[in-house]
């Protein structure tokens, strides 16, 4: 049976199942309908072939590709997206001429590009989903990122125009509907059949509904059956809804045979007259687009509309300003306002905190209004409200990674400053105290003390479900409160105020000075400091907002100082020590020159405000003489530009020393450790290397830092060691500088100093570890320049390693000495540099140092000195004329090491060397050359002797025996083995970090603050205990090199306590 008859039968079956009473009439309708149906032979005779244009074929292919891409986007199939996108782009390239002839790139193609780009960006940002992709799908995603970046360049302008006005045309809407319906053809077919049956039943029940449908839709001739519409819907998925409506209309119009006949005759005659195509082609779907003419708007109408919008905006602003002005009046009336009413209202607002549906910002606004109303009362009323207000402001952050915005932070700082100013009043001597049980009852306004009459039990049960204010309102509805003193009636607020006054009258003077508050003031100040640090971490370091945010650091330090002064007055030394430690952490990293400028700018802003807000008259030049004739000159020009007296500066070194001393005496273990590290850092920053070294050795921090179990403290230790190495380098102590910087600069410098995170795709860190590491980052203005750090490390390694390479690794070396590598990092970089086929001019600091090393090995000390002095990083060293001093120091060190390198390299070629000749070659004085050569002789680096009458060096060729070489090797290995055993014994016995039974905390050997290990610190005069992986070297005049120091360690990362074992 033909599918046309099958479709008709199915539709008739559905309609008959819906209503059994009309089955006979429906069968007659089917017979009437069948006589108008074309046969297969008629269709074949009258069928006309449709010839589609090249544009229609190309557009249909493009839409098919776009539909496939959108379906793949739904399931995140990037392989399918990539293949379909390649087909689409190839088709677009082939049809360039056709696209240019028909108005440019199709709009649905531009829309697809924009949606695909947005989907790609969202997929790349979702790191968790990206890691879950299969390897092939992930590679396809990466390829699509590169492909889209390259492909979309030519469509950037069109995509911007589309994003500016993303209007979806009717054609694109039909495309989107076809995309969404293409996956469920069977469902749409069933829906169409059901809708047709429903429409036929409704048309048979009422003739008015069919007539209304006929008015809305164009009537379809009766010669088309339901089977034709179904076949059309199967062949073209975009016309499902239209075919359904056509079939429903045809079934509805088939209720009477006369209507069908008249409609068919009229339609056939009209079609013959119009000359429309015959057969099935005449029933194909045609989309008619109606274009509505835009009505032109005159200039007067535009101006009137603009004025109307402006007036509406002004009304909204006025309403907002009025609401902000009367915010306090909407909460409580100022008339007859008492502290008891304020306390009751505060308890209502505070009780709503944390409840579901409570607006946190509304709570803050209400508490701010109450704090302004409480100013006229005593501090006993104002300070608790301010404490609640600051706490509510901290509640605005949703999680630990959110930070407080600038305006809220400044508001909280003002409130804490107000509290500190009240507490710093020496005449009143206000003291903060914790809340007690009696205070809680008092803040509930004495509900339990009110006497109630008959029936109060039921009222109390009703009131027990609500808050404090609800209970008072319900209980006091019918109960009259009587003042026992006067016998007159009173309200609940009046009674609460009377009881408050009576309680204060019975208090002692000490109790009157105590302000009962919820929470701790020191914890609020510490939290405010944490929010400030987080805001610096989240703000872009290269923006103007970061510079503006730095101005608030002076305000933060002032708050810390005032609150610390209060805690010192009340005798709470532990809280005062914590605040003193925070003050130290805000001051230790500043150089005195920077501190002076910062203090001057802060004082200028406090007195005169922003410099940009100064009147232009006071910024005039001194070329024009200004008089007091105000008719000719502005009054501001006579006074000139305001300035600040720089003589009243703060001695930062003395301030930090006093604060650290206070922390040493009263702080916790963590506070003392951090204060010591900050103190050492500040000494090293100002080139006081000996003081910094002594503090480090006396505290034994290099031995106990691995037991700190605090990653932030370990980061501070690494920063201290890096700055100590820079200090030693500036002073010309090359060996000490290398020992301090060798482990830090060996790798992962950014992570060790918390100046950056390594978050890659193949990172072994979990998302929680990455977040924790980001929270530990140091603000940008406290960073140590990594280029400067690398330059100092490589230069110090070069000055030590080049003579060592010549003495032990050269072709003319003795051959009996075992090669000893001082810096493996330097050796690795130099080997890479030497293996390069072509080396261009140096660009980075490392290239400059490697080029200087090659010149020094050739004996060209002048070129080596010029290359090192040409580095730009010396301009970053703080201090006056510091860069020039470093360049002079480098020149002297290069001359000295060049002399040592020359003598070690060519000593086997000479029998004697002239002192004057060496002085001329290296531009050194005779005393300097004599000193260098003598030290080489003492240290057994050069076998020679002085001939004083002739000022010559007589070289001797003495080689040690094989037994002596073995003895030296055995001595070195035995010393290393003893050192390793001592470390193992200390770790197992639990005495790690102790010396001679003395605790570094107790101060048995020192003068009070820290223990001074006399045996450890005073015994080695030739060298000190290297805390950074090196050895202390005792050099004596008679023999070889003795190893007496202990190897230190550096915390190798902010993620854990990874020590460094001793090396041979």
Higher-confidence position of 224 and 602: 602
User: Residue 287: what pLDDT?
Assistant: 52
| Predicted local distance difference test score (pLDDT) of residue 762 | 67
**In the prediction, which pLDDT does 48 show?**
55
SS3 readout for 402-420: CCCCHHHHHHHHHHHHHHH
pLDDT (mean) for 291-314: 75
Q: Does the pLDDT value for residue 564 go beyond 90?
A: yes
Task: Please tell me the least confidently modeled range out of 249-258, 374-383, 732-741, 974-983.
Answer: 249-258
Q: Please compute the mean of the pLDDT values over residues 241-267 and round it to a whole number.
A: 39
Going by pLDDT thresholds of 50, 70 and 90, the confidence category of residue 203 is very low
Instruction: Render pLDDT for 321-333 as a digit per residue (tens, 0 to 9).
Output: 665 554 444 456 6
Q: Which of 74-88, 610-624, 854-868 has the weakest average pLDDT?
A: 610-624
The 10s digit of each residue's pLDDT in 677-692 is 999 999 999 999 999 9
Residue 483 has a pLDDT of 80
> Contact 641/618 with Cβ under 8 angstroms?
yes
Given a cut of 60, whether residue 88 has pLDDT beyond it is: yes
Res 281: pLDDT: 54
Give yes or no for a contact between 413 and 559, defined as CB atoms under 8 angstroms apart.
Answer: yes
Q: With 80 as the cut, is the pLDDT of residue 294 above it?
A: no
| pLDDT score recorded for residue 509 | 87
Of residues 436, 413, 418, the one with CA closest to residue 527 = 413
Give the 3-state secondary structure of residue 405: coil
Determine the 3-state secondary structure of 534 from DSSP: helix
Contact 327, 370 (CB under 8 A): no
User: In 3-state terms, what secondary structure has residue 514?
Assistant: strand
- Give residue 486's pLDDT: 81
Of 859, 918, 925, 870, the residue nearest 894 (C-alpha): 859
* More confident of the two residues 105 and 578: 578
What is the Cα–Cα distance from 290 to 293, expressed in whole angstroms? Answer: 10
Is the pLDDT at 320 greater than 60? The verdict is yes
At 919, the pLDDT band (50, 70, 90 cuts) reads: very high
The per-residue pLDDT for 517 is 92
- Would you say 823 and 795 are in contact if contact means Cβ atoms under 8 Å apart? no
- pLDDT of 1032 reads 39
Q: Rounded to whole angstroms, what are the CA distances from 164 to 51, 114, 157, 161, 708?
A: 38, 12, 11, 5, 57
When mean pLDDT is compared across 44-58, 503-517, 886-900, the lowest value belongs to: 44-58
> What is the mean pLDDT of the segment spanning 299-328?
73
Going by their DSSP bridges, the two strands 1033-1035 and 1041-1043 should be labelled as antiparallel
Mean pLDDT for the stretch of residues 1047-1055: 39
Q: What pLDDT shows up at residue 1050?
A: 42
Place of tokens 């059949």: 193
Quote the pLDDT of residue 441: 46
pLDDT at 461: 43
Q: Which residue has the tokens 């100590």?
A: 724
- Residue 210: other Cβ atoms inside 10 A: 23
Q: Cα–Cα distance between 279 and 45 in angstroms, integer? A: 8
Q: Tell me if 415 sits within 8 A of 371, measured CB to CB.
A: yes
Mean pLDDT along residues 123-136: 83
Could you tell me the two tokens for 171? Answer: 């054609």
What confidence tens digit (pLDDT) does each residue in 986-1001 have?
777 765 444 444 444 4
How do residues 24-34 score in pLDDT, each as one tens digit?
Answer: 444 444 444 44
520 sits in the region (left: phi over 0; alpha: psi -120 to 50; else beta) called beta
At residue 647 the predicted structure's pLDDT band, cuts being 50, 70 and 90, is low
Q: What separation in angstroms does the CA of 859 have from each of 103, 254, 735, 863, 894?
A: 74, 111, 22, 9, 10
Quote the mean pLDDT of the chain.
74
- Any idea which residue has 């002596």 for tokens? 964
pLDDT at 556 over 90: yes
- In this prediction, residues 806-811 reach a mean pLDDT of 66
As a whole number of angstroms, the distance between CA 695 and CA 677 comes to 9
Look at 146-155, 536-545, 845-854 and tell me which has the smallest mean pLDDT: 146-155
- Find the mean pLDDT for residues 577-586: 95
Q: Report d(CA 1018, CA 1015) in Å as an integer.
A: 6
CA 1, distance to chain mean position in Å, is 71
Question: Residue 62 corresponds to which tokens in the numbers above?
Answer: 């493009």
- 714 pLDDT more than 90: yes
pLDDT at residue 263 is higher than 70: no
Selected residue with higher pLDDT from 821 and 931: 931
Residue 557 neighbours by CB under 8 Å, 6+ apart: 583, 586, 587
Structure confidence at residue 847 as a pLDDT band (50, 70, 90): very high
Distance of CA 260 to the CA centre of its chain: 74
* Backbone φ, ψ for residue 64 (5° rounding): -65, -40
What is the structure's pLDDT at 165? 78
CA–CA distance, 252 with 55 (Å, rounded to integer):
38
| Residues with Cβ within 8 Å of residue 474, at least 6 apart in sequence | 459, 462, 463, 466
For residue 181, pLDDT over 70 is answered with no
Q: Is it the case that residue 219 has pLDDT exceeding 80?
A: no
280 pLDDT more than 70: no
Rounded to an integer, what distance in angstroms lies between the CA atom of residue 532 and that of residue 560?
Answer: 13
C-alpha closest to that of 243 among 200, 196, 206: 196
DSSP bridge partners of 953:
913, 946
What local confidence, expressed as pLDDT, does residue 585 receive? 95
> Which of 444 and 801 is assigned the larger pLDDT?
801
Residues 196/247, Cβ–Cβ less than 8 Å: yes
∠ CA 192-197-201, rounded to 5°: 150
pLDDT > 70 fraction of the chain, expressed in percent and rounded: 66
Helices (H), 424-482: 437-443, 456-463, 468-475
Residues 972, 977, 980, CA angle at the centre, nearest 5°? Answer: 130
Least confident of 544-548, 611-615, 891-895: 611-615
CA 877/CA 886 separation, integer angstroms: 9
Q: Which of 490-504, 848-862, 965-979, 1007-1021 has the lowest average pLDDT?
A: 1007-1021
Mean pLDDT, rounded, for 410-418:
94
Indicate if the pLDDT at residue 1063 is higher than 50.
no
- The DSSP bridge partners found for residue 1043 are 1033
C-beta of residue 656 within 8 angstroms of C-beta of residue 678: yes
Q: How many CB atoms lie within 10 A of CB 866?
A: 14
Is the Cβ–Cβ distance between 72 and 80 less than 8 Å? yes
At residue 22, the pLDDT reads 42
| Highest mean pLDDT: which range of 304-313, 419-428, 461-470 | 419-428
pLDDT at 236 over 50: no
Is the model's pLDDT at 106 over the cut of 80?
yes
Q: Which residues pair with 432 in a beta bridge?
A: 515
| β-bridge partners, 913 | 953
| Highest mean pLDDT of the ranges 73-77, 101-105, 407-411, 468-472 | 407-411
Query: How many residues are given for the chain?
Result: 1064
Higher pLDDT, 816 or 730: 730
Are residues 1005 and 1013 in contact, defined by beta-carbon separation less than 8 angstroms?
Answer: yes
Give whole-number Cα distances, 967 to 57, 962, 972, in Å: 92, 9, 9
Confidence label for 703 from pLDDT (cuts 50, 70 and 90): confident
Q: What is the pTM of this model?
A: 0.60
Give 96 or 728, the one with higher predicted confidence. 728
Give the model confidence (pLDDT) of 485-532 as tens digits: 787 888 888 888 888 888 888 888 888 889 999 889 999 999 999 999
Residue 221 has pLDDT above 90, yes or no: no
Regarding predicted confidence, which is higher, 719 or 943? Answer: 719
Sheet containing 952-955, strands listed edge to edge, beginning at the edge strand earlier in sequence: 912-914, 952-955, 944-947
919/586 Cα distance (integer angstroms): 50
Task: Give the confidence band of 607 by pLDDT, cuts at 50, 70, 90.
Answer: confident
Q: What is the Cα–Cα distance from 296 to 317, expressed in whole angstroms?
A: 32
Q: What is the mean pLDDT of residues 829-834?
A: 90
Hey, is 804 helix, strand or coil? Answer: helix
Yes or no: say if 954 and 944 are a contact pair by the CB < 8 Å rule: yes
């Amino acid at each position: 049976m033909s599918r046309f008859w099958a479709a008709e039968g199915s539709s008739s079956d559905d309609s008959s199942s819906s209503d059994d009473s009309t089955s006979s009439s429906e069968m007659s309708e089917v017979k009437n309908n069948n006589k108008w149906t074309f046969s297969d032979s008629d269709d074949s005779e009258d069928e006309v072939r449709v010839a589609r244009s090249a544009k229609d074929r190309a557009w249909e292919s493009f839409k098919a590709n776009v539909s496939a891409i959108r379906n793949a986007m739904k399931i995140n199939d990037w392989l399918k997206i990539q293949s379909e996108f390649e087909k689409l782009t190839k088709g677009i390239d082939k049809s360039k001429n056709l696209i240019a002839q028909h108005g440019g790139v199709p709009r649905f193609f531009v829309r697809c590009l924009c949606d695909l780009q947005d989907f790609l960006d969202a997929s790349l940002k979702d790191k968790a989903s990206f890691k879950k992709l299969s390897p092939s799908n992930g590679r396809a995603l990466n390829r699509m990122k590169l492909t889209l970046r390259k492909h979309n360049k030519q469509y950037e302008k069109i995509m911007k125009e589309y994003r500016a006005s993303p209007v979806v045309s009717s054609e694109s809407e039909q495309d989107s509907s076809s995309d969404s319906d293409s996956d469920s053809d069977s469902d749409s077919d069933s829906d169409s059949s059901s809708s047709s049956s429903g429409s036929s039943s409704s048309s048979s029940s009422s003739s008015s509904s069919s007539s209304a449908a006929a008015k809305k839709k164009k009537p379809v001739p009766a010669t088309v059956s339901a089977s034709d519409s179904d076949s059309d819907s199967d062949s073209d998925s975009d016309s499902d809804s239209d075919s359904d409506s056509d079939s429903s209309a045809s079934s509805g119009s088939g209720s009477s045979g006369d209507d069908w006949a008249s409609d068919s005759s009229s339609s056939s005659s009209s079609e013959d007259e119009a000359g429309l195509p015959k057969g099935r082609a005449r029933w194909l779907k045609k989309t008619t687009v109606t274009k509505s003419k835009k009505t032109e708007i005159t200039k007067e109408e535009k101006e009137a509309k603009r004025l109307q919008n402006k007036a509406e905006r002004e009304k909204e602003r006025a309403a907002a300003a009025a609401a902000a002005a009367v915010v306090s009046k909407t909460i409580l009336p100022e008339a007859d306002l008492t502290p008891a009413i304020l306390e009751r209202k505060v308890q209502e607002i505070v009780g709503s905190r944390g409840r579901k549906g409570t607006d946190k910002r509304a709570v803050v606004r209400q508490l701010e209004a109450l704090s302004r109303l409480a100013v006229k009362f005593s501090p006993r009323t104002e300070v608790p409200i301010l404490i609640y207000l600051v706490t509510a402001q901290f509640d605005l952050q949703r999680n630990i990674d959110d930070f407080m915005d600038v305006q809220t932070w400044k508001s909280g700082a003002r409130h804490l400053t107000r509290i500190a100013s009240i507490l710093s009043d020496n005449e009143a001597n206000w003291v903060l105290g914790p809340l007690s049980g009696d205070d809680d009852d008092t803040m509930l306004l004495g509900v339990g003390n009110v006497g109630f009459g008959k029936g109060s039990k039921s009222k109390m049960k009703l009131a027990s479900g609500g808050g404090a204010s609800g209970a008072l309102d319900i209980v006091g509805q019918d109960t009259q409160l009587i003042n026992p003193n006067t016998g007159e009636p009173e309200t609940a607020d009046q009674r609460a105020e009377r009881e408050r006054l009576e309680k204060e009258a019975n208090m002692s003077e000490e109790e009157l000075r105590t302000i009962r508050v919820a929470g701790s003031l020191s914890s609020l100040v510490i939290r405010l400091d944490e929010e400030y640090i987080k805001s610096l971490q989240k703000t872009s370091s290269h923006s103007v907002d970061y510079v503006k945010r730095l101005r608030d650091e002076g305000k933060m330090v002032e708050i810390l100082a005032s609150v610390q002064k209060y805690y010192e007055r009340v005798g709470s030394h532990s809280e005062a020590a914590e605040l003193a430690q925070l003050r130290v952490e805000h001051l230790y990293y500043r150089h005195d020159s920077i501190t002076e400028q910062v203090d001057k700018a802060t004082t200028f802003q406090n007195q005169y405000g922003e410099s940009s807000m100064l009147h232009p008259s006071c910024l005039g030049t001194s070329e024009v003489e200004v008089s007091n004739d105000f008719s000719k000159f502005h009054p501001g020009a006579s006074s000139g530009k305001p300035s600040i007296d720089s003589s009243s500066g703060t001695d930062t070194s003395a301030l930090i020393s006093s604060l650290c001393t206070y922390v040493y005496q009263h702080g916790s273990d963590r506070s003392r450790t951090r204060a010591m590290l900050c103190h050492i850092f500040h000494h090293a920053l100002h080139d006081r290397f000996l003081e910094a070294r002594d503090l480090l050795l006396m505290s034994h921090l290099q031995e106990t830092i691995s037991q700190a179990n605090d990653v932030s403290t370990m980061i501070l230790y690494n920063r201290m060691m890096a700055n100590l190495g820079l200090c030693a380098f500036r002073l010309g102590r090359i060996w000490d500088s290398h020992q301090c910087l060798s482990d830090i600069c060996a790798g992962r410098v950014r992570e060790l100093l918390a100046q950056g995170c390594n978050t890659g795709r193949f990172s072994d860190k979990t998302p929680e570890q990455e977040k924790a590491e980001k929270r530990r980052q140091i603000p940008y203005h406290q960073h140590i320049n990594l280029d400067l750090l690398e330059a100092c490390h490589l230069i110090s390694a070069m000055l030590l390693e080049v003579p060592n390479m010549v003495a032990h690794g050269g072709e003319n070396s003795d051959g009996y000495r075992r090669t000893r590598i001082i810096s493996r990092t330097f050796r690795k970089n130099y080997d890479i540099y030497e293996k390069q086929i072509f080396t261009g001019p140096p660009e980075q600091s490392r290239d400059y140092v490697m080029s200087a090393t090659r010149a020094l090995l050739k004996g060209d000390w002048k070129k080596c000195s010029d290359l090192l002095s040409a580095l730009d990083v010396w301009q970053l060293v703080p201090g006056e004329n510091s860069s020039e001093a470093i360049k002079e120091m480098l020149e002297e060190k290069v001359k000295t090491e060049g002399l040592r390198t020359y003598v070690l390299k060519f000593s086997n070629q000479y029998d004697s060397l002239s002192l004057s000749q060496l002085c001329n070659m290296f531009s050194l004085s005779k005393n300097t050359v004599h000193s260098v050569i003598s030290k080489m002789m003492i240290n057994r680096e050069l076998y020679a002797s002085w001939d004083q009458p002739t000022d010559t060096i007589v070289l001797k060729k003495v080689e040690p025996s094989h037994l002596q070489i073995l003895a030296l090797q055995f001595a070195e290995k035995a010393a290393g083995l003893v050192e390793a055993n001592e470390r193992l014994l200390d770790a197992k016995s639990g005495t790690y970090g102790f010396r001679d039974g003395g605790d570094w905390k107790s101060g048995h050997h020192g003068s009070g603050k820290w223990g001074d290990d006399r045996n450890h610190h005073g015994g080695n005069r030739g060298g000190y205990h290297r805390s950074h992986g090196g050895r202390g070297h005792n050099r004596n005049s008679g023999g070889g090199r003795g190893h007496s120091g202990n190897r230190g360690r550096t915390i190798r990362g902010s993620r854990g306590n990874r020590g460094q074992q001793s090396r041979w």
